[in-house]
Chains A and B, each alone.
Chain A
Amino acid sequence: MNKIFAKQSIVVPIVSIFLGLMFGAIVMLAGGYNPITAYNALVSEIFSSRYNIGETIANITPLILTGLAVAFAFRTGLFNIGVEGQLIVGMTAATIVGIEFGYLPWFVHMPLSVIAAALAGGLWGGLAGYLKASRGVNEVITTIMLNFIALYLGNYLIKAFYLEPGTARSYKIEDSASLRTDWMTNLFDGARVDLGLIIALIAVIAFYIILWKTKQGFELRAVGLNHHAAKNAGINVNSNVVKAMFISGMLAGLAGATRSLGLFDAQTIAAAYTGLGFDGIAVALLGGNGAIGIVLAATLFGSLKFGGGGMNYVEGVPNEIINVVIASVIFFVAANGIFKLIIKPFKAKRKQKGAAS
Chain B
Amino acid sequence: MKRVFKILLLVSAIPLFAFLVQADLSGDEVLAKVDQVLESQATIMNATMTTSDVKGNQKFSKMIIYTKKSANGKDRVLIEYLAPAADKGVKFLSLGDVNQIWMYLPKVEKTVRIAGSMIKQSMMNSDFSYEDLLDRSNYSDSYSAKIIGRETMADAKCYLLELTAKKGNANYRQIKLWVREDNYIPVKEEFYSGSGSVIKIATQSQLETMSGRIVPTKITFQDLAQKGHQTTLEINQITFNANIPEQYFNMRYLEKGK
Q: Do A and B bind each other?
A: no
